[in-house]
Amino acid sequence: MGRAAETRLLGWVAGLAPTLAIGLGWIIGAGQGHLPVCIPNIDGCLPTSATGRAPPEAFVFKPLMCMGAAAICMLWTRVGARTRRQWFFTVSLIGALALVTYAIALGATGETMRAVRRFGVSLFFLTSLVCQVTFVLDLQARRPASRPWLRPTLASLLAVQVTIGLSSFFIADWVSDRHAFQNAVEWNYLPLLCLFFVLVGYYEPHKPKPAV
């Protein structure tokens, strides 16, 4: 398997593992009767974290989320090496460890563990955003070797994510059920982030043709 194929595989694992963790966790929990059957991205009936708190869904959620964290770190590290952004490794490693900490702490009781979860997931989203913004800006200055659609697609995805994230802070004060609204935001934001990871795996740097 070539390096390009390996990077694409990392992108798919980075995007699919968290998606499956949440999706399968919800299906299993709903089947057990302790998670609601609903359309969470519309009515916000439960937070995404609810899909990994209790067994048996936690036994699926936590390993898949940890797998996704490792793949995300490896993906950004490889992309960082290609774009001369070696610090991607440090930032993505911090984000991956934060996501793993969040996943492991799910289901634990107490205010301390609640604070650990909030800090972990917030740090993961922050490190992801730093890498995303830097990568998209780099694409504006670098011409990909192929797939001209990649640059505008990633820029559009990032713009939608930022719009959802920023607007939610203002809209939340005007809705009748703040918690349900924030839950719905999570369910709509995360698929976009996971799709971004998948598409990052298709990046190939431009290599100048050798002089004849």
> Is residue 14 a part of any domain in this protein?
yes
Q: Are 14 and 58 in contact (CB under 8 A)?
A: no
> Is residue 142 a part of any domain in this protein?
yes
Average pLDDT rounded to a whole number, residues 165-194: 89
Q: DSSP label at 143?
A: -
> Is residue 212 a part of any domain in this protein?
no
Q: Are 119 and 98 in contact (CB under 8 A)?
A: yes
The pTM (predicted TM-score) of the whole model is 0.91
55: containing domain: 3-38+46-200
Average pLDDT rounded to a whole number, residues 73-84: 90
pLDDT of residue 85: 87
Gap between the Cα atoms of 72 and 67, Å rounded: 9
> Is residue 91 a part of any domain in this protein?
yes
pLDDT in tens, 186-212: 999 999 999 999 999 998 775 555 444
Structure tokens at 201: 């795996």
Structure tokens at 13: 């694992």
% of the chain surpassing 90 pLDDT:
69
Torsion, Cα 37 106 125 8, to 10 degrees, reads -80
> Is residue 99 a part of any domain in this protein?
yes
Split at pLDDT 50, 70, 90, the class of 145 is: low
> Is residue 205 a part of any domain in this protein?
no
> Is residue 28 a part of any domain in this protein?
yes
> Is residue 169 a part of any domain in this protein?
yes
Gap between the Cα atoms of 189 and 183, Å rounded: 10
Where do the DSSP E strands lie in 69-172? none
CA 209 to chain centre: 35
Please determine, for residue 62, whether its predicted confidence score (pLDDT) is greater than 80.
yes
If one counts the domains in the chain, the total is 1
Half-sphere exposure of 167 (CA within 13 A, CB side): 10
